[in-house]
Amino acid sequence: MLAAAEDHIRLEPGAPPPPLALLSEIYCAGRAALPGMVIGGGTFGFFTELNRNWPPTGLIDFIGHSVCSVVHSSDDRAMIENLESFAHIARTVRAFAGKLPYRLISSSIGLDISPYGEPVANPENLRSTMARADPRHRALFGAAWTLASIAEAAYGGLSAISPAANVGELGIVHRRLPHSQPWFEDLEGPAVYPTYHVVAGIAPAAGRPLLETACSDVRRIAALAYRSCDGEACLWLSNLREEPQRVKLAGRGDARWVRLDESLFEAAAEDPFFLQHQAAVPLGNEIEISAHSIVRIQAGR
């Protein structure tokens, strides 16, 4: 993706935005230097920067920006409430970008990059605003939030979302870093974070048909359903609350399910194929999903 330098981005209301001529020059230069490549436009910053600096959409193949959940507040409730903004942001982007493919180039709890300065250091693993390293990313909370963000993007009609990095503060695979990573740093072998299982599990569904879901309280349970390559219906659920939630299901048929919760945290961290290795059990009319846990339900063709 190509974007204007930070000093050409309107960060606050009032100052003039970069002229379209400048953005046009950037995209035309990109076409000349990278013939045949997909060229994206927008901003490496947030939706606010994109909305103040509309790119000339006729010169790009997709439009994008980043999402971070610890910009204004860092408590758990704010993290969950922020998910509701995805749909509203998508509608606004569609209003000025039309049917141009729309991507979230970075979507995470922690701050990846910001036009307002470098992310703050967080060596004490606090729930802190504007920090890249957020301890919830390595926890079940991170997996539940990531699943919900992917679901919001999918049902919002986005063409792509990048919910994490491979390694680092925003990674899905554990690697030693300069700051402390409790529990994980005591392991002798390789490990993955709970978010890994969400990303690895849903990645094969890219481009697959979505199935409609209905949830009585989207602030409690996030849901994503699609038809897999082999014709199975696959439903992912995540508990967005810090207490167990009971979920009643309709039309279960011959469905079976696996889970990732606190009791299975260690096993999941040490086995990247944990969900594939876990024995699926028949699904009842009602299941309990423990705090910030993940459930994957699969039904026959």
Q: Are 226 and 294 contained in the same domain?
A: yes
Same domain, 229 and 181: no
Instruction: Please indicate, yes or no, if residue 152 is contained in any of the structural domains.
Output: yes
Cβ–Cβ < 8 Å for 214, 224? no
pTM: 0.93
CATH of the domain at 62: 3.20.20.80
> Are residues 76 and 160 both part of a single domain?
yes
Q: Do 123 and 260 fall into the same domain? A: no
> Do 67 and 139 belong to one domain?
yes
Question: What pLDDT is recorded for position 301?
Answer: 60
Ranking 107-116, 165-174, 246-255, 279-288 by mean pLDDT, the lowest is 246-255
- Indicate whether 27 belongs to any domain: yes
Crossing angle of helices 140-155 and 85-97, rounded to 10°: 30
Same domain, 184 and 251: no
Final residue before a domain boundary, out of 140, 173, 205? 205
Task: Tell me whether residue 69 is in a domain.
Answer: yes
Residue 246 lies in a domain: yes
Residue carrying structure tokens 């679901």: 151
Q: Is 274 a domain residue?
A: yes
pLDDT, one tens digit per residue, over 50-73 is 988 888 999 999 999 999 999 989
Structure confidence by residue, pLDDT tens digits, 100-149: 999 999 999 999 888 788 898 899 999 999 999 999 999 999 999 999 99
Report the pLDDT value the prediction gives residue 158, as an integer from 0 to 100: 96
Domain shared by 24 and 149, yes or no: yes
How far, CA to CA in Å, does 137 sit from each of 87, 108, 140, 262? 22, 8, 8, 15
Q: Quick check: is 216 in a domain?
A: no
pLDDT at 266: 97
Judgement on whether residues 118 and 24 belong to the same structural domain of the protein: yes
User: How many domains is the chain partitioned into structurally?
Assistant: 2
Which residues span the domain enclosing 182? 6-205
Residues 71 and 188 in one domain: yes
My answer on whether 175 and 252 are in the same domain is no
Domain boundary among 172, 205, 238: 205
CATH of the domain at 272: 2.60.40.1180
137 shares a domain with 235: no
Taken in order 207, 217, 239, 68, is the CA torsion positive or negative?
positive
